[in-house]
């Protein structure tokens, strides 16, 4: 049988190689470590140069030296935490395009885990959302080619492309076998804010991401709501919002606060130690607000939810958020084209808490589906804390265990969005009144 023959042949080769190695006279090496940590660093740099020289000279085929160096740099950065990486000129340009709010692709926020692309959240109204891609899905192959071994940036490049071109991704979802999904790329014009009126008197605002246009679009939504019939409550929906720009998160929270702190950041450099305060007048002052979050709410969306929760301005409803409490800076390089995306600070909510690896705990936990104790025990949730090399929370505290929700759909529920319906009901019951929230936190 071929498999047996292959195994036997391979064993013979490895055996010969082992004999050859055993017969070699290895040079004596100084394995002692220098006392000065900086000297050890220089020693490691010399080691890298020696390894690279061997790869250049001795590898079985000529190597792409530029690609090898980029991979080495990226490997160093990704070993620090899951959000730091090297951006070659093309990657840097792609990042600029993404934060501008328009690019060609599928419309998903992703990260890398265990060699596969993991979906944080699909963006509203995009090919990925319409195809039913869900938070927590793994993308294991693109057009039949396994992703294993690629960097996140490489995988994202493959998923992006000209409008109208087709792509097939292989999706692995908990409890199912891998299955293919065919998609047609579109120009992703992230209309990051949408709005409507629910039941004649509840303003519903959906913020799907935080890009350069988010604050402007939110102003338009708030203005439109203000010109209509008087609203008696506002739902701010941040579910499956994977984050984005820090300054946009501050501006969004600023609309709902009368002065005071929104968020603070702390890093090693003086420039990374800062406090961001609300500066403009609060809109819809005195009108109760409910903020919807879930496990796909990350980073910038957690800043907004945490600020409104700590400042007792909103009732947070849903399930525990993702738990990304770090800030990344994009630093242009002087010696080589491109940039690095580096985690440079942690952020803290107004009460001084870090949500890194913990997430925002809702005031009222509400699930979209009904759960039994047995089903709850089987759930394998995913969060920042589950990512490779994720920063720990500096308090040493771990993410809270799953518990039965405060609210869940009745057995005969036939609606479409129980979390939203619950948020609206809580607003109508007066549970999110600012004075009520202050009493609850006394």
Burial of 402-432, coded b for 16+ CB within 10 Å and e otherwise, reads eeebebbbeeeeeeeebbbbbbbebbeeebb
Phi and psi, residue 228, nearest 5°: -90, -165
271 DSSP assignment: G
Residues 357 and 45: their CA atoms lie apart, in Å, by 33
124 DSSP assignment: T
46 DSSP assignment: H
331 DSSP assignment: E
Q: Is 275 helix (H, G, I), strand (E, B) or coil?
A: strand
Residues 328 and 82: their CA atoms lie apart, in Å, by 11
The phi-psi region of residue 58 (left if phi > 0; otherwise alpha if psi is between -120 and 50; otherwise beta) is alpha
CA distances from 109 to 235, 319, 366 (A): 23, 19, 24
Query: Residue 392 class from Cβ within 10 Å (0-12 exposed, 13-18 middle, 19+ buried)?
Result: exposed
Q: Are 170 and 183 in contact (CB under 8 A)?
A: no
Cα–Cα nearest to 291, from 350, 361, 384: 361
Q: How far apart are the first and last CA of the chain?
A: 74
DSSP H or E stretch at residue 251 = helix 246-254
374 has which bridge partners?
A: none
Going through 52-134 in order, the beta strands assigned E by DSSP cover 85-87, 102-105, 108-113, 116-122
Residues 221 and 204: their CA atoms lie apart, in Å, by 9
- Listed as own residue / partner, the contacts of 67-74 with beta carbons closer than 8 Å and 24 or more positions apart are 71/151, 72/48, 73/340, 74/151, 74/153
Q: Are 118 and 382 in contact (CB under 8 A)?
A: yes
Q: What is the token pair recorded at 92?
A: 């840097």
Q: What is the largest CA-CA distance in the chain?
A: 88
- Active-site positions read 299, 310, 324
């Amino acid at each position: 049988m071929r498999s047996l023959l292959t195994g036997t042949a391979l064993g013979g080769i490895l055996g010969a190689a082992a004999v050859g190695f055993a017969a070699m006279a290895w040079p004596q090496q100084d394995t002692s470590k220098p006392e000065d940590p900086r000297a050890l660093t220089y020693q490691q740099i010399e080691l890298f140069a020696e390894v690279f020289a061997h790869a250049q000279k001795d590898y079985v085929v000529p190597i792409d030296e530029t690609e090898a160096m980029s991979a080495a740099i990226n490997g160093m950065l990704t070993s620090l935490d899951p959000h730091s990486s090297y951006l070659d000129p093309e990657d840097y340009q792609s990042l600029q395009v993404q934060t501008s709010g328009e690019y060609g692709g599928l419309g998903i926020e992703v990260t890398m885990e265990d060699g596969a692309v993991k979906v944080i959240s699909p963006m509203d109204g995009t090919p990925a959302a319409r195809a039913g891609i869900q938070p927590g899905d793994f993308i294991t192959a693109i057009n039949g080619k396994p992703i294993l071994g690629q960097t996140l940036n490489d995988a994202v490049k493959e998923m992006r492309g000209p409008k109208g071109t087709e792509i097939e991704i292989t999706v692995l979802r908990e409890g199912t076998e891998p299955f293919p999904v065919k998609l047609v790329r579109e120009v992703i014009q992230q209309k990051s804010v949408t709005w409507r009126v629910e039941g004649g008197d509840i303003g519903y605002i959906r913020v799907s991401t935080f890009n350069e246009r988010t604050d402007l679009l939110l102003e338009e939504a708030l203005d439109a709501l203000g010109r209509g019939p008087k609203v008696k409550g506002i739902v701010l929906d941040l579910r499956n919002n994977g984050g984005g720009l820090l300054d946009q998160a501050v501006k969004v929270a600023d609309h709902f606060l009368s002065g005071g702190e929104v968020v603070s950041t702390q890093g090693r450099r003086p420039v990374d130690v800062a406090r961001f305060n609300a500066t403009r007048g609060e809109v819809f002052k005195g009108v109760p607000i409910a903020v919807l979050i879930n496990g796909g709410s990350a980073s910038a969306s957690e800043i907004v939810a945490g600020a409104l929760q700590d400042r007792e301005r909103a009732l947070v409803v849903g399930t525990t958020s993702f738990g990304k409490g770090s800030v990344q800076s994009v630093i242009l390089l002087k010696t080589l084209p491109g940039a690095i995306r580096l985690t440079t600070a942690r952020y803290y909510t107004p009460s001084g808490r870090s949500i890194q690896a913990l997430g925002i705990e809702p005031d009222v936990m509400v699930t979209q589906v009904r759960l039994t104790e047995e089903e709850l025990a089987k759930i394998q949730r995913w969060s920042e804390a589950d990512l490779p090399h994720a920063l720990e929370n500096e308090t040493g505290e771990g993410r809270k265990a799953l518990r039965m929700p405060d609210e869940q759909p009745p057995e005969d529920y036939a609606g479409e969005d129980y979390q939203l319906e619950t948020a609206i009901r809580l607003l109508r019951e007066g549970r999110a009144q600012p004075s009520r929230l202050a009493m609850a936190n006394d």
